């Protein structure tokens, strides 16, 4: 309870640094689960050293190899050191007891190892870009931050908020809304006001096979969207890239999410359909397969020349120097 009362605010630099450190050691991202808690056997084989014993044993901290130059290398070296340290006490993997069971020493010991290795990493400059208040880096303060972080993640796991499938759905929806915003902003910037009849909702955008450790993401096709409508939206993406590149250069423009999507072979047959568009925005085979009730709900407008008109505007903008 003392740790809880004396912990820094959750948005403090020290809290962000601890959170980053723990997520890296646990190899966690938003689309993965946290590693499972220790088994009964792991609890049984755990040697239970005192905090003083763990903190005073600095043998694991060998001089950093000269070859360690990148951020990835430094994180890999940090993970290797903490695993080597843990193995001396009968622990073969870095995790926490998310069940928060009373009477077990696992989380206390893992908290101390986290504290020890975080302080070493900070000393090596791994958090130098964060303005960490020195008064927030006492052992008591840091133990409190770690304890609060463990409790928070344990609550997420119990509630199911940490479920990878749910997180993937949430992340995909966020990406689709971001893509819609890029297209809407680009159309508003470069085209006449009639574009609002074609880019009406995030459902006009396809989903993305998003994996956080990748740099290119496959598009997930929409069965209801016509080739002409898809081509129009993709031309908006090229217009968006040109504008971004003129402002910040090609490299930064190419790193934006909407520019990292590549053609894919998958289709989501259950994806939401954007209603109220001109009929030629819909795939003709798909449209003709709808019964009377579904067509009424779709509220499609008659075929329009608007896409051709706007496509001409986009082409002109793309050809401008």
pLDDT digits (tens, 9 = 90+) for 201-254: 898 888 877 666 667 778 888 999 999 999 999 999 998 888 888 888 888 878
256 lies in which domain range? 164-320
Give pLDDT, residue 118: 96
| Count of the separate structural domains present in the chain | 2
pLDDT digits (tens, 9 = 90+) for 45-81: 888 899 999 999 999 987 766 665 677 788 888 999 9
For residue 299, pLDDT beyond 50: yes
For residue 183, pLDDT beyond 70: yes
Q: Which residues neighbour 248 within 8 Å (Cβ) at sequence distance 6 or greater?
A: none
Predicted confidence band of residue 307 (pLDDT cuts 50, 70, 90): confident
pLDDT digits (tens, 9 = 90+) for 2-40: 344 445 565 688 899 999 999 999 988 766 788 999 999
Give pLDDT, residue 211: 66
Instruction: Please answer whether residues 221 and 268 qualify as being in contact, where contact means their C-beta atoms are separated by less than 8 angstroms.
Output: yes
Same domain, 94 and 186: no
Give the distance, in angstroms, between the CA of residue 289 and the centroid of all CA atoms in the same chain: 38
pLDDT digits (tens, 9 = 90+) for 92-138: 999 999 998 776 799 999 999 999 999 999 998 888 888 888 888 89
Provide, rounded to the nearest whole percent, the portion of the chain with pLDDT above 70.
91
What angle, 0 to 180 degrees and rounded to 10, lies between the N-to-C axes of helices 71-87 and 106-123?
140
Distance CA(39)–CA(19), nearest Å, equals 24
Distance CA(138)–CA(140), nearest Å, equals 5
**Shortest CA distance to 112 belongs to which of 139, 76, 84?**
139
- Flag whether 277 is in a domain: yes
Same domain, 58 and 172: no
- Flag whether 8 is in a domain: no
Give the distance, in angstroms, between the CA of residue 53 and the centroid of all CA atoms in the same chain: 37
Q: Which residues neighbour 185 within 8 Å (Cβ) at sequence distance 6 or greater?
A: 240
Same domain, 262 and 309: yes
Give the distance, in angstroms, between the CA of residue 25 and the centroid of all CA atoms in the same chain: 17
Same domain, 129 and 261: no
Same domain, 90 and 184: no
Mean pLDDT of 309-315: 87
- Flag whether 7 is in a domain: no
Instruction: Please answer whether residues 279 and 229 qualify as being in contact, where contact means their C-beta atoms are separated by less than 8 angstroms.
Output: no
Give pLDDT, residue 76: 87
Same domain, 316 and 172: yes
- Flag whether 4 is in a domain: no
Going 186 to 187 to 191 to 193, the CA torsion angle's sign is: negative
The dihedrals phi and psi of 245, each to the nearest 5 degrees, come to: -65, -35
Higher pLDDT, 282 or 214: 282
What DSSP character marks residue 224? T
Q: How high does pLDDT run on average in the chain?
A: 86
> Among 159, 186, 221, where does a domain finish?
159
> Among 159, 193, 219, where does a domain finish?
159
Higher pLDDT, 164 or 320: 320
- Flag whether 5 is in a domain: no
Same domain, 175 and 58: no
Tell me which range, 105-119, 154-168, 237-251, 263-277, is most confidently predicted by mean pLDDT. 105-119
Give pLDDT, residue 75: 86
What are the angstrom distances between the C-alpha of 287 and each of 66, 147, 230, 294?
A: 63, 56, 15, 9
- Flag whether 3 is in a domain: no
Give pLDDT, residue 296: 95
Same domain, 313 and 276: yes
- Flag whether 315 is in a domain: yes
DSSP states of 177-238: HHHHHHHHHHHHHHS-GGGGGTS-SGGGS-EEE--TT-SSEEEEEETTB-HHHHHHHHHHHH
Give pLDDT, residue 1: 36
Same domain, 282 and 217: yes
For residue 301, pLDDT beyond 70: yes
Same domain, 146 and 168: no
Same domain, 172 and 287: yes
**The pTM is what?**
0.56
- Flag whether 219 is in a domain: yes
Burial environment of residue 145 by CB neighbours within 10 A (0 to 12, 13 to 18, 19 or more): buried
Length of the chain, please? 321
Distance CA(38)–CA(21), nearest Å, equals 20
The backbone region for 27, taken as left when phi is positive above 0, alpha when psi lies in -120 to 50, beta otherwise, is left
The dihedrals phi and psi of 288, each to the nearest 5 degrees, come to: -70, -15
Instruction: Please answer whether residues 31 and 212 qualify as being in contact, where contact means their C-beta atoms are separated by less than 8 angstroms.
Output: yes
**Shortest CA distance to 17 belongs to which of 97, 133, 100?**
133
Predicted confidence band of residue 314 (pLDDT cuts 50, 70, 90): confident
Q: Which residues neighbour 191 within 8 Å (Cβ) at sequence distance 6 or greater?
A: 310, 313, 314
Burial environment of residue 294 by CB neighbours within 10 A (0 to 12, 13 to 18, 19 or more): exposed
Instruction: Please answer whether residues 167 and 30 qualify as being in contact, where contact means their C-beta atoms are separated by less than 8 angstroms.
Output: yes
Same domain, 74 and 188: no
> Among 159, 194, 222, where does a domain finish?
159
């Amino acid at each position: 309870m003392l740790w809880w009362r004396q912990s820094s605010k959750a948005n403090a630099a020290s809290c962000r640094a601890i959170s980053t450190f723990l997520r890296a050691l646990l190899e966690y991202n938003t689309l993965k689960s946290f590693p499972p808690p220790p088994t009964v056997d792991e609890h049984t084989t755990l040697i239970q050293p005192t905090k003083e014993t763990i903190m005073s044993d600095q043998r694991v901290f060998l001089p950093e190899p000269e070859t360690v130059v990148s951020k990835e290398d430094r994180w890999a070296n940090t993970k290797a050191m903490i695993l080597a340290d843990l193995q001396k006490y009968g622990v073969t993997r870095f995790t926490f007891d998310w069940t928060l069971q009373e009477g077990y020493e696992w989380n206390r010991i893992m908290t101390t190892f986290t504290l020890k290795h975080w302080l070493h990493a900070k000393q090596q400059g791994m958090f130098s870009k964060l303005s960490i208040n020195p008064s927030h880096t006492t052992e008591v303060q840091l133990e409190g931050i770690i304890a609060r972080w463990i409790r928070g993640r344990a609550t997420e796991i119990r509630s199911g908020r940490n479920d990878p499938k749910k997180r993937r759905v949430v992340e995909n929806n966020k990406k689709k809304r971001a893509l819609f915003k890029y297209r809407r902003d680009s159309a508003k910037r470069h085209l006449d006001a009639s574009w609002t009849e074609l880019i009406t909702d995030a459902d006009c955008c396809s989903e993305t096979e998003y994996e956080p450790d990748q740099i290119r993401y496959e598009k997930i096709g929409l069965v209801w969207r016509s080739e002409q409508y898809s081509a129009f939206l993709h031309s908006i993406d090229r217009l968006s890239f040109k504008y971004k590149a003129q402002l910040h250069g090609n490299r930064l423009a190419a790193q934006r999410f909407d520019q990292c999507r590549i053609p894919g072979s998958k289709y989501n047959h259950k994806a939401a359909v954007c209603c109220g568009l001109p009929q030629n925005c819909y795939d003709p085979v798909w449209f003709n397969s709808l019964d009377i009730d579904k067509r009424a709900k779709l509220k499609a407008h008659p075929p329009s020349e608007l896409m051709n008109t706007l496509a001409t505007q986009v082409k002109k903008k793309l050809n401008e120097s």
